[in-house]
Structure 1
Amino acid sequence: MAATDDVRWWGVNDWTDLDLVRAELAAGADPNYGAFIFEKPLHAAADRGSPEVVAELARLVDDVDAEREGRTALWMAVFEGRADNARALVSAGADPWRPMMAGWSPGRLSLVGPAPDLFSPSPEAGLSAAEAAAVAEAERLIPALGDFYYDGLGLACVAELSAAEATARLEAVPADGVDIDELYEDSWNKPDAELIVGVTDVPGGCVIIQPWGYTPSTRGLLECVSPGTVCYSMYANPKGGSSGDIARDGTVITAWEPYSAYTVPVDAPAEEILAAYLYSNHPVAFCCAGAGLHLNDAGPIIGSDRWLKLPERDWWT
């Protein structure tokens, strides 16, 4: 059956409400089609529903392993940490070891998460040495950074570049006479606030911060600091969430945004899928890890002992 304009589901905002889902089904909703923006109902339930709703839909769909953008409902459940939903799908016949997403089947993805025995025993090989090292670093880095308020933060993580080298590339000068505490408290009414950044040496490179603005994530700054290396940037927009760019060797090569089970690109390489899973909901750690920076705490992200003033130019282009 093909999706049509009269397929229901548009009223289902709570995929944990079994009675509501059953009412929609009784009114003619197709269990295979028609959720939000052509989302499959089973994928929606696996992502943010209850095991009871997942089991109900899994019983009715034509194929419990039907894919949407290269991933099954079971893959969605694993990526979003919904172990109960994953178990419900497997009970309905979903295949944990179905190949997809650059070799990250739902089962293999679960091996690096909080429930590595979710689908044991595993018929697949374990993690490679590089994958195991990436998992170990995520398990170290995320708690090392801890929880801190970062709304409004602009951040650039630059691999294998010292703070002094970054300063020279940016043609920056010491921010003498600038009251940094005032900028933390109220940068909106301060002239040149967007030109003030902090830079700090850290293991693996340096970080450039602006706790009150987006300048470290601008194209002009990334093109200045990334020749011969890689830079991961972000801006935590208080009005729109975190996003940023990745620059390599002086060129901005890709944009990124906080990954969910839906937003991981279907053609992403295996290491990027792993990073997206490991650092979901941890954008600062994602940037640090992407640039290979091994911070021991959030100090260089929260503040700096070297404040600079950038030259006046169009840092956006």
Structure 2
Amino acid sequence: MVDDIDAEHDGRTALWVAVHADKPDNAGALAAAGADPRRPMMAGWSPGRLSLASLTPDLFAVPPGVPSLSPAESAAVAEARRLTAVSQEVDYDGLSLSCVAGIDAAEAVRRLDARVAEWDDAESMVEQLWGDSLSEEAVLTLGVTDVPGGCVVSQPWAYGARMPGVSRRLSIGTVCYSMYANPKSGNQGSILRDRAVEGWDLHPGGGWAASDDSAEEILRTYLYQGNAIAYCCAYVGLALTDARPFSGSPDLWVQLPPGDYWSYDGR
């Protein structure tokens, strides 16, 4: 027997959790038992309001005078569905990436002091790097791709695109969301803005928002749960149009100069 069906844990009720988990039958049963879909919580995202961003926006009756999603929120929902469709088939286990706002591939190459790889047979060379993924040559070889809104630096086989010395240089004057999909421990994300670390040891696509997160972040976390690549792109405003940056077909393959990319030299 539940004493209070609207009891909160970590700032949210059981009804909110059911809506967030996309379990409309559970949510409907809780509401029928007396749970309040309009109870204020999570930076304004009550269970009822969050349901408007779900695939079942008619789950609860909307009382007169209760606002629907704002135009910006509706656009975020539509973009999330588009981005998810573009990226959901990517097998990203073991991949690393840096999504960078506001700079193109050429500027990314310049910031990294990288040189464009000159291979007679790119397909064969990529296969060779896959086969020895933790060699120095493999770790220092990155893909760079122009994407509407910025660019993506990626590496399908190892952690190279998320090394601190890479993401810090890329973040100069802008924001960079980096991730390594560690096969042993899961997604490891970081946010850098103009070389400063804003977030570390993050779990993009994990689907759990803190109760003190912003309204924008709570919505984003909900929309991209289970899709880390789309989350990273959305965080910095990249409008990915295809999965090439993450499927081994970038615009350019480049090679970083040898050096220490785990400490940062201030550039």
TM-score (norm. length: structure 1)? 0.77
2-structure distance, mates of 1:307, 1:313: 18
2-structure distance, mates of 1:220, 1:213: 15
Corresponding residue for residue 64 of structure 1:
5
Contact residue 218 and residue 315 of structure 1 kept, 8 A: yes
2-structure distance, mates of 1:260, 1:156: 18
Higher relative contact order (CA 8 A, sep 6+): 2
Contact residue 209 and residue 301 of structure 1 kept, 8 A: yes
CA separation of 1:314/1:66 partners in 2, compared to 1, >3 Å: closer, same or farther? same
Contact residue 176 and residue 191 of structure 2 kept, 8 A: yes
Alpha-carbon displacement from aligned partner over 1:188-209 (angstroms, at most 9, x marks no partner): 4644211110101111111000
Aligned with residue 108 of structure 1, among 35, 49, 57: 49
Aligned with residue 288 of structure 1, among 216, 233, 240: 233
Alpha-carbon displacement from aligned partner over 1:22-79 (angstroms, at most 9, x marks no partner): xxxxxxxxxxxxxxxxxxxxxxxxxxxxxxxxxxxxxx11111111110111111111
User: Tell me, which stretches of 5 or more residues in structure 1 are unaligned?
Assistant: 1-59
Amino acid in structure 2 at the alignment position of 1:310 = L
1-structure distance, mates of 2:22, 2:157: 32
2-structure distance, mates of 1:93, 1:274: 25
How far the C-alpha of 1:259 sits from its partner, in A, is: 5.0
Corresponding residue for residue 143 of structure 1:
85
Contact residue 199 and residue 308 of structure 1 kept, 8 A: yes
Aligned with residue 127 of structure 2, among 174, 181, 198: 181
How far the C-alpha of 1:260 sits from its partner, in A, is: 5.0
Corresponding residue for residue 224 of structure 1:
169
Residues 188-267 of structure 1 correspond to what in structure 2 (within 5 A)? 188=133, 190-255=135-200, 256-259=202-205, 263-267=208-212
Contact residue 80 and residue 260 of structure 1 kept, 8 A: no
Corresponding residue for residue 114 of structure 2:
172
Alpha-carbon displacement from aligned partner over 1:133-178 (angstroms, at most 9, x marks no partner): 1111112111122412111110111111011111111111123348
Structure 1 moving runs of 4+ over 3 Å: 188-191, 258-261
CA separation of 1:259/1:142 partners in 2, compared to 1, >3 Å: closer, same or farther? closer
CA separation of 1:122/1:145 partners in 2, compared to 1, >3 Å: closer, same or farther? farther
Measured on the aligned residues, the alpha-carbon RMSD in Å equals 1.6
Alpha-carbon displacement from aligned partner over 1:252-308 (angstroms, at most 9, x marks no partner): 2013214556x3111100000000000000100011111111121111221213111
Aligned with residue 308 of structure 1, among 235, 254, 260: 254
Give the % identical residues.
Answer: 52
Contact residue 216 and residue 222 of structure 1 kept, 8 A: yes
2-structure distance, mates of 1:285, 1:89: 31
Amino acid in structure 1 at the alignment position of 2:212 = D
User: Tell me, which stretches of 5 or more residues in structure 2 are unaligned?
Assistant: none
Q: Which moved more, 1:307-316 or 1:62-71?
A: 307-316
1-structure distance, mates of 2:171, 2:139: 20
Contact residue 187 and residue 212 of structure 1 kept, 8 A: no
How far the C-alpha of 1:122 sits from its partner, in A, is: 4.3
1-structure distance, mates of 2:9, 2:134: 48
Contact residue 101 and residue 175 of structure 2 kept, 8 A: yes
Contact residue 146 and residue 297 of structure 1 kept, 8 A: no
Larger radius of gyration: 1
2-structure distance, mates of 1:187, 1:159: 31
1-structure distance, mates of 2:68, 2:241: 28
State the number of aligned residues.
256
CA separation of 1:266/1:259 partners in 2, compared to 1, >3 Å: closer, same or farther? farther
Residue 85 (structure 1) aligned with residue 30 (structure 2): no
